């Protein structure tokens, strides 16, 4: 927490005062590669748990906020595919336009007016350059107890940072986003339908906000097109999903990440969308059965098979958007055949997935054991004995993640009031 507080709210903000001073970041358990958010980038480098990192997270960092509207947010979708939008800075004040116009594409109209469209690629370039400058300064003046920066890489519009904390390595995928309070007009009709979460959480909790993330459609213009993300709402909806169904989801995710990774077509985000649809479709009494995890696993495999054969997987919040529409017939049938092999013997495929996890854990423990025997001090420490408290912090964070599967951590950064709790897992503060 302290590291990213100083990185974004402090040093990056001081470079050119572009970021909002009081900002709220969303920290999700799991990296972009695991489909935590709806971003499918070809440029993502391959990192392996155990070899490259021990824990992974996704951090959504708002570059812009639009939080002063009490009506549905209307976005400029004239040039975009469904679930995508361009963002004109006309929605913001002149000060914001002046700060960010170097990260925009410019469109001149016939009437002489100039429109600045916030560019996801240029914003990502600015994020990477700014973070690189700040991390270089941190490395010049190391402070006791600060994590060791082991790797910083730009993966398309995502910045991946691997931090060494004691003997643990944490991968953070930093995603620059635009944050909105309220709800997009394009998803307004979804609110009119009946849903499994009705009566369990309030509508205000579900529609408290949404994001634009830097990812374009398969035929879109990368420099201009953003994708709508409902990550904040998904955090709330997870509260209403039974533990046995979440277990089945985690098991199915572990299987498909390995089996369906080539060619890249299906991500855990598709699987999560199917799970939410299943929650709307099936009786609550059935989904609440504590000993039905195996039934739910088979059901998720069948639902995914059905989506592939029909090349149809509607976005949960914008159902008219088919997330598999761009795939070729050859690709969907290849994955459908692979999934048939899983359905014929799911236990064997699950055992294989578990063995992969065990192997990664063994590799992590071996690397930690080697590190403890060599006792090489972190170049970002002063040589003092900082490993022990760092280890406790890393183990505590790992325990929180393990005890709260499928849940997300929200982080509130406010430099004017550092007395408030910063980490929140759902409704609990830590």
**Ranges of the chain whose pLDDT falls below 70:** 1, 68-71, 109-112, 261-262, 371-430
> What would be the CATH architecture of the domain defined by 1-237?
2-Layer Sandwich (3.30)
SS3 119: coil
| Tokens matching residue 415 | 């430099």
Element (H, E) at 16: helix 13-16
| Tokens matching residue 171 | 């991968």
| Rounded Cα gap, residues 152 and 159, in angstroms | 7
SS3 198: strand
pLDDT given for residue 384 in this prediction: 34
| Rounded Cα gap, residues 197 and 237, in angstroms | 7
CA 320 to chain centre: 23
Q: Is there a contact between 204 and 236 (Cβ–Cβ < 8 Å)?
A: no
Neighbours of 143 (CB within 10 A): 10
**Residue 11 DSSP class:** I
Domain ranges of the chain: 1-237, 241-344
**Residue 185 DSSP class:** G
| Tokens matching residue 247 | 């277990």
| Tokens matching residue 304 | 């995914």
| Rounded Cα gap, residues 260 and 255, in angstroms | 8
pLDDT given for residue 414 in this prediction: 46
Residue with tokens 């920066």: 149
Domains 1-237 and 241-344 share a fold: no
| Rounded Cα gap, residues 421 and 427, in angstroms | 12
pLDDT given for residue 407 in this prediction: 59
pLDDT given for residue 148 in this prediction: 86
**Residue 146 DSSP class:** P
Q: Is there a contact between 26 and 172 (Cβ–Cβ < 8 Å)?
A: no
| Tokens matching residue 320 | 């008219």
Closest CA to 390 of 154, 32, 44, 54: 54
| Tokens matching residue 305 | 């098979």
pLDDT given for residue 386 in this prediction: 33
Element (H, E) at 19: none
Domain 241-344: state its class. mainly alpha
């Amino acid at each position: 927490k302290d590291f990213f507080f100083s990185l974004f709210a402090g040093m990056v903000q001081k470079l050119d005062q572009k970021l909002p001073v009081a900002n709220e970041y969303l920290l999700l358990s799991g990296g972009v590669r695991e489909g935590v958010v709806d971003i499918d980038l070809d440029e993502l480098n391959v990192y392996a748990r155990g070899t490259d990192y021990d824990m992974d997270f996704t951090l959504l960092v708002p570059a812009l906020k639009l939080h002063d509207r009490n009506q549905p947010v209307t976005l400029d979708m004239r040039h975009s595919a469904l679930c995508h939008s361009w963002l004109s800075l006309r929605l913001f004040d002149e000060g914001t336009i002046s700060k960010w116009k170097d990260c925009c594409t410019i469109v001149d109209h016939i009437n002489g007016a100039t429109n600045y469209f916030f560019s996801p690629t240029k914003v990502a370039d600015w994020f990477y350059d700014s973070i690189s400058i700040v991390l270089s300064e941190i490395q010049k003046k190391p402070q006791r107890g600060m994590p060791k920066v082991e790797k910083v890489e730009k993966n398309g519009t995502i910045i991946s940072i691997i931090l060494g904390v004691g003997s643990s390595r944490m991968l953070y995928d930093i995603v620059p986003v635009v944050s909105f309070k309220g709800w997009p007009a394009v998803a307004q009709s979804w609110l009119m339908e009946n849903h499994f979460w009705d009566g369990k959480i309030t509508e205000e909790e579900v529609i408290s906000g949404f994001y634009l993330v830097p990812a374009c459609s398969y035929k879109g213009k990368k420099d201009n097109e953003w994708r709508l993300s409902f990550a904040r709402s998904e955090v709330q909806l997870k509260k209403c999903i039974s533990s046995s169904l979440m277990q089945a989801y985690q098991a199915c995710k572990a299987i498909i990440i390995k089996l369906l990774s080539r060619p890249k077509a299906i991500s855990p985000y598709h699987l999560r969308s199917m799970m939410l649809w299943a929650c709307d479709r099936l009786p609550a009494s059935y989904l609440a059965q504590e000993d039905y995890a195996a039934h739910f696993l088979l059901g998720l495999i069948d639902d995914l098979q059905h989506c592939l054969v029909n090349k149809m997987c509607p976005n949960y919040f914008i159902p008219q958007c088919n997330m598999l529409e761009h795939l070729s017939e050859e690709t969907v049938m290849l994955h459908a055949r692979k999934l048939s092999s899983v359905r014929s013997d799911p236990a064997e495929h699950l055992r294989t997935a578990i063995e992969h996890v065990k192997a990664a854990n063994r590799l992590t423990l071996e690397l930690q054991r080697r590190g403890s025997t060599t006792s090489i001090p972190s170049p970002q420490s002063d040589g003092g004995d900082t490993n022990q408290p760092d280890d406790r912090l890393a183990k505590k964070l790992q325990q929180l993640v393990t005890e709260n599967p499928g849940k997300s951590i929200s982080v509130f950064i406010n430099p004017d009031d550092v007395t408030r709790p910063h980490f929140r897992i759902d409704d609990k503060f830590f």
